[in-house]
């Protein structure tokens, strides 16, 4: 065999190719249009951690502390800029895509097909967001944990079992849900597995899982203590408060034809085909229920249901289309057993997967047609480097600016705010959806929350039972940081600040179309 051909065919070259492609495709997407609220959600925070801030005590957060710290590490190593910001999401995209390739290979899929489906997976996994995003992080880390579980079922390696709780912990600390759904899937399937195979090895596995879980919890508590983060604040912000948000969303949850089925028609199509194939090939065996492939099917079924439900609940519909290549690859494994039609079924799966991947790639990654960018023309863009050189080559297209004139106005406004805030050298708080001012000003802007939506989904608003807790956090920041001035930019309502502070503690000294400026009165009783 030609040595060049042999090299190309080797798994090492294939794995490297998948990883590099996964990283590059995510970078490509991350530079095309943004949501100011979501795309920058960990940008300022990652930098603020370098300046000494920590979640739960210096800002209210309902998700993503793991992402915050990981981003801080990347900023520390590579500097705070868009390139290092996107790297986190790109690395995870590469890791999960490569692991997808190994999974397909391990359970019987040929190298070429494993490669094709893994590449499609890489296109549809993280690039739809591009930047670090809690739903993507939690979902893909959970998928990685499930992959590890499947590998563990194949091999008698207790180290693999040991890794599962650790990966789940990172997923949960990215976002509670969907990690919680995947944890339920894991527990359900492992109970099923142990009921079929309870022996001395089972006890060793349980011990391995318990030790790993206990050590992970202990290390996390020690981590909180090292940075003087109260466990009660973590539980309050990360566990209890999000439950109330979730309860409200359940009240408005609707299962209609368009949102439940038609928006995910290719996922349904591939999964139904997968179900048909596995019933045809696997259920001929009377003991099919003991087969690893059946357990993988159960995991796939539960994953399918959980992620459809999650997207309906959160309306983050872009996160689950990677299920198309995943289910396609799993179905392809069983096609070989359908001897009469295997050639045609293989072609059907490949073309369906590639076609759907191209469709969603063009829609979500290239044109950015989802959520608030649905009606935005991506061709109407400006280089974000005109805001700050840290954003060089980022296509500035936002929901707030849907044509060139509005884009020019938006960028002009942001430059004016940057220049204004630079002139104020005092310790200050800035309220805005544009969570990048800490980085471009190279100072801590001390925002008490990661972002400021009006519906109370990111922090408690008036009437919420956690309202006073958030109020105490804000007052603590003002006192600890010796805050002199508070700026509320035009994209945020001033009541996001004024609702939490007595009127005798603040004086409004500027009120114009672009911002409102408040001076803190330290002589008031509340701040003494």
User: Which tens digit of pLDDT belongs to each residue from 486-498?
Assistant: 999 999 999 999 9
The pLDDT of residue 115: 96
Region label for 325, one of left (φ > 0), alpha (ψ between -120 and 50) or beta (otherwise) = alpha
Average pLDDT over every residue of 514-519:
97
Q: Identify the band that residue 297 occupies on the pLDDT scale cut at 50, 70 and 90.
A: very high
Residue 337's pLDDT band (cuts 50, 70, 90): low
CB 174 within 8 A of CB 137: yes
User: Given pLDDT bands bounded at 50, 70 and 90, which one contains residue 117?
Assistant: very high
Residue 2 confidence (pLDDT) above 80? no
Q: What is the mean pLDDT of the chain?
A: 91
Under the banding of pLDDT at 50, 70 and 90, the label for residue 328 is very high
Q: What is the mean pLDDT of residues 425-452?
A: 95
The Cα-based distances of 282 to 111, 277, 296 in angstroms read 22, 8, 12
CA distance linking residue 140 with residue 126, whole number of Å: 8
The 3-class SS string of 28-47 reads: HHHCECCCHHHHCCCHHHHH
CA dihedral defined by 74, 76, 80, 85, rounded to 10 degrees?
10
How do residues 29-71 score in pLDDT, each as one tens digit? 999 988 777 889 899 999 999 999 999 999 999 998 999 999 9
Q: What is the rounded average pLDDT of the residues 327-340? A: 81
Give all strands of the β-sheet with 506-511 in edge-to-edge order: 428-431, 485-489, 515-520, 506-511
* 162 within 8 A of 212, measured Cβ to Cβ: yes
Structural contact between residues 201 and 156, judged by C-beta atoms closer than 8 angstroms: yes
Question: Measured between alpha carbons, how far apart are the two ends of the chain, in Å?
Answer: 81
pLDDT digits (tens, 9 = 90+) for 399-428: 877 778 888 999 999 999 999 999 999 999
Rounded CA separation 90/82 (Å)? 12
Q: Residue 250's pLDDT is what?
A: 65
% of the chain exceeding 90 in pLDDT = 73
C-alpha to C-alpha distance for 259 and 244, rounded to whole angstroms: 24
Strand partners, 378: none
Q: Going by C-beta distance under 8 Å and a sequence separation of 6 or more, which residues neighbour residue 469?
A: 236, 460
**pLDDT exceeds cutoff 90 at 375:** no
User: How many Cα atoms within 13 Å fall on the side-chain side of residue 297?
Assistant: 23
Range among 100-114, 274-288, 392-406 with highest mean pLDDT value: 100-114
Best CA proximity match to 180, nearest among 293, 314, 326:
314
List beta partners, residue 430.
487
Range with the lowest mean pLDDT among 7-21, 42-56, 327-341, 420-434? 327-341
CA 526 centroid distance within chain: 38
List of residues 6+ apart from 101 with CB closer than 8 A: 14, 15, 18, 114, 115, 118
Which whole-number Å values give the CA distances from 429 to 22, 40, 62, 311, 437, in the listed order? 38, 17, 20, 34, 11
Model confidence at 1, pLDDT cuts 50, 70, 90, reads very low
Q: How does pLDDT run across 81-106, given as a tens digit for each residue?
A: 999 999 999 999 999 999 999 999 99
Q: Which of 259, 270, 261 is nearest to 357 (CA)?
A: 270
Q: Around Cβ 362, how many Cβ atoms within 10 Å?
A: 11
Q: Is the pLDDT assigned to residue 448 strictly greater than 90?
A: yes
**Alpha-carbon span 94 to 127, nearest angstrom:** 11
Q: How many CB atoms are located within 10 Å of the residue 166 CB? A: 16
Q: Is the dihedral of CA 409, 410, 414, 417 positive or negative?
A: positive
Are 308 and 93 within 8 A, CB to CB?
Answer: no
> Across 208-336, where does the E strand assignment appear?
none
Paired with 507 in beta bridges are 519
Give the pLDDT confidence of 303-321 residue by residue, as tens digits: 999 999 888 888 776 789 9
> For residues 288 and 270, what is the distance between their CA atoms, to the nearest angstrom?
22
The predicted-structure confidence for 159-201, as pLDDT tens digits, reads as follows 999 999 999 999 999 999 999 999 999 999 999 999 998 888 8
Describe the crossing of helices 265-282 and 292-314 by its angle, rounded to 10 degrees.
160
Mean pLDDT, rounded, for 364-374: 85
Return the H-helix or E-strand segment holding 476.
helix 467-480
* Selected residue with higher pLDDT from 452 and 339: 452
pLDDT of residue 156: 74
Instruction: Provide the pLDDT confidence category of residue 4 given band limits of 50, 70 and 90.
Output: very low
Predicted pLDDT of residue 58: 97
pLDDT tens for each residue of 201-252: 899 999 999 999 999 999 999 999 999 999 999 999 999 999 887 666 666 6
Side-chain-facing half-sphere of 20: CA atoms under 13 Å: 6
- The predicted structure's pLDDT at residue 5: 52
Output b/e per residue, 334-359; b: 16+ Cβ within 10 A. bbeebeeeeeebbeebbebbbebbee
pLDDT attached to residue 214? 98
pLDDT at 340: 65
Helix (H) / strand (E) element for 488: namely strand 485-489
CA distance 89 to 82: 12
Contacts of 165 (CB under 8 A, 6+ apart): 209, 212, 213, 216
For residue 62, the model assigns a pLDDT of 94
Q: Is the dihedral of CA 140, 40, 76, 365 positive or negative?
A: positive
Cα radius of gyration (the chain): 25
């Amino acid at each position: 065999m030609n040595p060049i051909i042999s090299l190309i065919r080797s798994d090492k070259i294939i794995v490297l190719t998948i990883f590099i492609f996964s990283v590059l495709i995510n970078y490509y997407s991350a530079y095309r249009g943004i949501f100011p609220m979501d795309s920058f959600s960990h940008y300022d925070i990652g930098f603020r951690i370098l300046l000494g801030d920590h979640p739960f005590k210096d800002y209210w957060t309902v998700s993503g502390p793991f992402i915050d710290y990981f981003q801080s590490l990347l900023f520390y190593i590579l500097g705070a800029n868009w390139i290092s910001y996107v790297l986190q999401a790109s690395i995870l995209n590469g890791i999960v895509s490569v692991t997808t390739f190994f999974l397909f290979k391990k359970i019987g899929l040929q190298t070429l097909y494993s490669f094709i489906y893994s590449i499609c997976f890489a296109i549809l996994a993280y690039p739809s967001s591009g930047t670090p995003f809690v739903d993507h992080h939690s979902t893909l880390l959970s998928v990685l944990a499930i992959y590890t579980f499947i590998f563990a079922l194949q091999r008698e390696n207790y180290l693999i079992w040991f890794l599962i709780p650790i990966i789940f912990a990172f997923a949960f600390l990215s976002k509670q849900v969907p990690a919680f759904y995947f944890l339920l899937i894991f527990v359900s399937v492992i109970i099923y597995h142990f009921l079929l195979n309870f022996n001395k090895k089972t006890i060793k596995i349980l011990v391995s899982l318990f030790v790993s879980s206990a050590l992970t919890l202990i290390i996390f508590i020690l981590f909180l203590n090292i940075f003087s983060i109260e466990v009660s604040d973590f539980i309050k912000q990360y566990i209890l408060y999000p439950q109330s948000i979730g309860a409200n969303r359940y009240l408005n949850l609707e299962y209609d034809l368009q949102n439940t089925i038609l928006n995910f028609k290719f996922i349904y199509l591939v999964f139904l085909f997968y179900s048909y194939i596995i019933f045809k090939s696997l259920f001929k065996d009377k003991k099919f229920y003991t087969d690893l492939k059946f357990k993988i099917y159960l995991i796939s079924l539960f994953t399918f249901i959980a992620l459809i439900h999650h997207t309906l609940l959160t309306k983050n519909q872009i996160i689950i289309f990677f299920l198309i290549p995943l289910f396609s690859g799993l179905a392809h494994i069983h096609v070989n057993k359908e001897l009469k039609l295997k050639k045609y079924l293989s072609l059907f799966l490949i073309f369906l997967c590639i076609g759907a991947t191209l469709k969603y790639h063009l829609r979500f990654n290239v044109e950015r047609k989802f959520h608030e960018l649905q009606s935005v023309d991506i061709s109407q863009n400006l280089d974000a480097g005109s805001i700050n050189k840290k954003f060089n080559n980022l296509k500035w297209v936002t929901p707030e600016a849907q044509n060139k004139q509005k884009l020019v106005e938006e960028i002009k406004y942001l430059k004016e705010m940057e220049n204004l805030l630079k002139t104020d050298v005092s310790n200050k708080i800035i309220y805005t959806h544009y969570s990048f001012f800490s980085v471009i000003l190279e100072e801590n802007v001390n925002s008490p929350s990661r972002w400021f939506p009006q519906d109370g989904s990111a922090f408690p608003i008036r009437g919420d039972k956690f309202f006073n807790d958030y109020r105490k956090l804000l007052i603590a920041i003002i006192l600890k940081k010796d805050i002199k001035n508070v700026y509320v930019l035009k994209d945020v309502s001033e009541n996001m600040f004024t609702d939490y502070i007595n009127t005798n503690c603040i004086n409004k000294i500027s009120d114009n179309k672009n911002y409102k400026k408040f001076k803190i009165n330290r002589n008031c009783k509340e701040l003494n």
